[in-house]
Amino acid sequence: MINFAKYDIILASQSPRRQQLLKDMGFDFRVIVTDAEEIYPAAMPLLQIPVYLAEVKANAITAELKENTLIIAADTIVAIEDKVLGKPRDEKDAFDILQQISGRMHQVITGVCLKAKEKQHSFYALSNVYFRHLSDEEINYYITKYKPFDKAGAYGVQEWIGYVGIEHIEGSYFNVMGLPTQMLYQELIHF
């Protein structure tokens, strides 16, 4: 493994899933949660949205940058037929979102921004996720038990609905969790 110990790594994300993935990759880091608004221009192309949002998060904490600091910021969106499915506002919204992805393929796109004092590099990973048809009863069970209100697309791949509902994934499983770990590692080596 490349020695990243000389860097003060900051993860600009409150996602417990991203924090766990980065920890499991062997990184020592600290978390700074930004209060940057996750708003993007309406006409922005789908693949640019999560990259733009990751850059907004990274740029919100540039005051933390010193010579050996590395910021890792990420944002994940879920989309179906070029329509972004955000985090659900309430149970009804979660139900509507899960009904939309039931029996269909949707895309999970994570944008990542790596930022140091003298340079910045951004990239994205895309995964196609195929759900089997979910019954209303299954959707309601999942929402009631797991309360997926902090998750884009109203679900966590690592939770019950992922175990019983996902038929297959084209692309990175960890991207669907919120951080394309293999791609991140490769990009860090070249950064």
The residue-averaged pLDDT of 94-111 equals 97
Is residue 6's pLDDT more than 90?
no
| 125-167 residue pLDDT tens | 999 999 999 999 999 999 999 999 999 999 999 999 999 999 9
Residue percentage of the chain with pLDDT more than 90:
85
Residue percentage of the chain with pLDDT more than 70:
99
**SS3 labels along 88-142:** CCCHHHHHHHHHHHCCCEEEEEEEEEEECCCCEEEEEEEEEEEECCCCHHHHHHH
Paired tokens of 6: 């000389």
Tell me the pLDDT band of 1, cut-offs 50, 70 and 90: low
Find residue 84's DSSP bridge partners.
Answer: 79
Res 70: pLDDT: 96
The residue-averaged pLDDT of 20-25 equals 96
Res 145: pLDDT: 97
- Which residues are catalytically annotated? 75
CB 7 within 8 A of CB 27: no
Is residue 81's pLDDT more than 70?
yes
Res 35: pLDDT: 82
Angle, vertex CA 188, rays to CA 185 and CA 191, nearest 5: 155
Instruction: Walk me through the domains of the chain, giving residue ranges and CATH numbers.
Output: 8-190 (3.90.950.10)
| Alpha-carbon distances, residue 65 vs 7, 8, 79, 142 (angstroms) | 11, 9, 33, 41
CB 49 within 8 A of CB 40: yes
Using the 8-state DSSP alphabet, how is residue 174 labeled? Answer: H
pTM of the full structure: 0.93
| Alpha-carbon distances, residue 182 vs 4, 126, 187 (angstroms) | 16, 13, 9
Mean confidence (pLDDT) of the chain: 94
Paired tokens of 5: 């110990």
The residue-averaged pLDDT of 54-58 equals 96
Res 157: pLDDT: 96
Res 5: pLDDT: 75
Tell me the pLDDT band of 38, cut-offs 50, 70 and 90: confident
Res 2: pLDDT: 65
